[in-house]
Amino acid sequence: MSSASTSCILLQLADYRTETRRHAHKVVQLGQHLIQRGWASSSTDELWTVLEQVATAAVESGQLSLADVCASRLATQFPDSPRVALLQGVILEGKGEVLEAKRWYEQLLDKDEHNTNIRKRLITLHLTSPSSSSTTLTKGKSSTSTSAAGGLSREKGLEMLVEHLDTVYNDIEGWSQLASVYAGMGLYPQSLSALSHLLLLAPHNPFHLLHHAETAYTLGDYPLAWKEFSRVVEMCEGVTKGDKEGSGGAGRRAAVGAKLVSGVRRSL
């Protein structure tokens, strides 16, 4: 792996950018290889996207010094860029300074209220804070009390997310996030309705239909779950279809779901 050429590493990083999986440690490893080879001193156009990618991955892997270095490099090159400002906010989040991050994002939103990426980070900040009703139970913890004092709560995040989706209807990630927030609170009917909006926006994607089917199953709506699981298997053209490793596609998971539903229906 360390003997791979620079162009191989760059291709791999470009693949990771389009793939949208969450494996920050791999990105950081590749980024460190590149920096050790001194590639960061060259000035290609790709350098800046790679720096941004490595900086966000470094925050998730706890390597805040690397993230700071990348961010300062980007800030000197692009002084007033909203993307760099977003990155600096993410670094603040990673350092644990949530109130600072909240202030930073709100400042940026005051300057430009149409920046959806900043709004999404602010929503994430709210959603990953404890819910406002739980602070009475955890009095001793300093972090909980500071975030509650700063006005960060999960309910506020939920409210902001619903407002955001009212304005920007076709945000697929937003609907998916809303569904998972409701599911996390145990509100499965609301989660199901959020997923139905998602299905309107991306009807070709069997994974969203699978998510809908699994939520219907959790809710106890077995006829709906059965219909949807079969529909996913039909969409994926069978159960065993997939790439060479056989791990791709939603067909197999949907088939397992259909088996579960048929087991329940027999016992009813």
Partner 1 sequence: MVSWPTPAAILIRLAALVFLHAAYSAWEVRGLAKTAGVEIPSTLGSPLPVDIIAQAFISFILLATGVIWSATPLKKISWASEMSKRCIDSEDSRLSFANVRHRGSVLFAETD
Residues near partner 1 (CB under 8 A): 19-22, 24-25, 28, 56, 59-63, 90, 93-94, 96, 117, 120-121, 123-124, 127-128, 173-174, 176-177, 180, 204-208, 210-211, 235-237, 241-243, 247-251, 253
Q: Which is nearer to partner 1, 60 or 155 (CB)?
A: 60
Q: Which is nearer to partner 1, 149 or 265 (CB)?
A: 149
Q: Which is nearer to partner 1, 176 or 226 (CB)?
A: 176
Q: Which is nearer to partner 1, 25 or 73 (CB)?
A: 25
CB of 228 to partner 1, least distance (A): 16
Closest CA to 14 of 42, 41, 53, 59: 53
Exposed/middle/buried for residue 136 (C-beta within 10 Å: 0-12, 13-18, 19+): exposed
CB of 259 to partner 1, least distance (A): 18
Exposed/middle/buried for residue 19 (C-beta within 10 Å: 0-12, 13-18, 19+): exposed
Using CA atoms, how far residue 83 sits from 50, 74, 87, 182, 236, in Å, is 13, 10, 6, 29, 37
Helix, strand, coil % in the chain, rounded to nearest 5 = 75, 0, 25
CB of 129 to partner 1, least distance (A): 10
CB of 97 to partner 1, least distance (A): 11
Closest CA to 4 of 19, 21, 26: 26
CB of 176 to partner 1, least distance (A): 5
Residue whose entry in the numeric block shows the structure tokens 């991955």: 57
CB of 31 to partner 1, least distance (A): 12
Question: 70 near 51, Cβ under 8 Å?
Answer: yes
